[in-house]
């Protein structure tokens, strides 16, 4: 049974001794609520400022409960099979939460090096203390601002960049600009992959704006999402993937394998190739740094 919630900061030493304890903790940027998942044994949900942020199944790093995380995993693994050396992966996670994706990839690719950039130092500390997150260098947690880190990327210093940063229910606008995408492209290896979790509303303007910006930077851009989301029926997640090498063709065996994986989850999703993605984003206006009030 979950413990009674409290607005007071929990005793960290007690949490370390007994494992995760449900309750409300004070993070650097607002309240962090940890609650047991009643539907998943050993499952824990972390909410940041009232919004779902991460889900961890203790002892099962490959069990991803959030659908969009499974879609990211499918897209990344397909790209690795076609383009990258799985023994030498350098993965940067801009936005870490409880390190669910870094923990996942550290298990799938045991020799990979995952760097998690999380702005909330207290969340990073609690996640490390509570959960079975591999130690550095397999998973290194860096408390920092995602945009500042991207600006300082060394060329060809990582193979995969995953942006999953939210302030409430939206991604900070400075992480959706052409200039930000260029920082990421500079940091990627030639056959690298940029992945973004785009949360959008039914008008889909956010996704179209991001795709338009990515198309100014990356030679190839594709999308993964569930059909109702792509038809503008609700708020949800759209996964955007960009690279300077051709991404998987919709008619290829690799795409067929991806389709089977994406249809297997509780919320079936679709892989949309470059032709569809360009058509979908037509009319979208790329966002630039300091271009107007919306980027303030």
pLDDT surpassing 50 at residue 64: yes
pLDDT surpassing 60 at residue 13: no
What whole-number distance in Å separates Cα of residue 138 and Cα of residue 156? 19
pLDDT surpassing 50 at residue 226: yes
pLDDT surpassing 90 at residue 4: no
To the nearest 10°, report the CA torsion of 169, 46, 56, 175.
30
What whole-number distance in Å separates Cα of residue 286 and Cα of residue 221? 14
Which has the closest alpha carbon to 176: 231, 94, 251, 109?
A: 94
> Predicted confidence band at 235 (pLDDT cuts at 50, 70, 90)?
confident
What whole-number distance in Å separates Cα of residue 291 and Cα of residue 213? 13
pLDDT surpassing 90 at residue 8: no
pLDDT score for 17: 45
Which pairs from 290-296 meet CB under 8 Å and 24+ separation?
Answer: 291/177, 294/173, 295/173, 295/174, 295/177
Would you give the end-to-end CA distance of the chain in angstroms? 44
What whole-number distance in Å separates Cα of residue 176 and Cα of residue 55? 24
Average pLDDT of the segment spanning 151-168: 95
Residues in the chain: 296
**Homologous superfamily of domain range 67-295:** Vaccinia Virus protein VP39 (3.40.50.150)
> Predicted confidence band at 264 (pLDDT cuts at 50, 70, 90)?
confident
pLDDT surpassing 90 at residue 12: no
pLDDT surpassing 90 at residue 3: no
User: What residue spans in the chain does CATH classification 3.40.50.150 cover?
Assistant: 67-295
pLDDT score for 181: 98
pLDDT surpassing 90 at residue 122: yes
Candidate from 33-37, 210-214, 230-234 with smallest mean pLDDT: 230-234
pLDDT score for 106: 98
Strand ordering across the sheet containing 158-163? 139-143, 113-118, 90-94, 158-163, 188-200, 236-243, 220-225, 270-272
């Amino acid at each position: 049974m979950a413990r009674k919630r409290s607005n007071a900061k929990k005793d960290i030493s007690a949490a370390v001794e007994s494992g995760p304890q449900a309750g409300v903790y004070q993070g650097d940027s607002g309240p962090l609520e940890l609650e047991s998942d009643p539907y998943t044994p050993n499952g824990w949900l972390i909410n940041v400022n009232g919004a779902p942020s991460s889900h961890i199944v203790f002892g099962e790093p490959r069990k991803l409960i959030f659908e969009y995380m499974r879609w990211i995993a499918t897209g990344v693994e397909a790209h690795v099979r076609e383009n990258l050396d799985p023994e030498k992966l350098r993965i940067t996670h801009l936005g870490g939460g409880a390190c669910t994706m870094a923990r996942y990839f550290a298990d799938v690719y045991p020799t990979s090096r995952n760097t998690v950039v999380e702005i909330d130092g207290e969340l990073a500390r609690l996640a490390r203390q509570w959960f079975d997150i591999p130690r550095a260098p397999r998973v290194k947690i860096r408390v920092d601002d995602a945009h500042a880190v991207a600006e300082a990327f060394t060329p060809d210093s990582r193979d995969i960049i995953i942006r999953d940063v939210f302030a409430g229910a939206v991604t900070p606008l400075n992480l959706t600009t052409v200039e930000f995408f260029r920082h990421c492209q500079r940091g990627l290896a030639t056959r690298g992959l940029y992945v973004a979790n785009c949360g959008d509303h039914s008008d889909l303007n956010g996704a179209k704006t991001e795709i338009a910006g990515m198309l100014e930077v990356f030679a190839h851009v594709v999308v993964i999402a569930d059909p109702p989301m792509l038809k503008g029926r609700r708020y949800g997640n759209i996964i955007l993937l960009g690279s300077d090498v051709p991404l998987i063709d919709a008619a290829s065996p690799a795409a067929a394998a991806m389709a089977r994986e994406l249809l297997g989850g509780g919320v079936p999703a679709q892989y949309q190739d470059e032709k569809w993605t360009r058509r979908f984003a037509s009319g979208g206006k790329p966002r630039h740094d300091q271009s107007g009030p919306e980027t303030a």
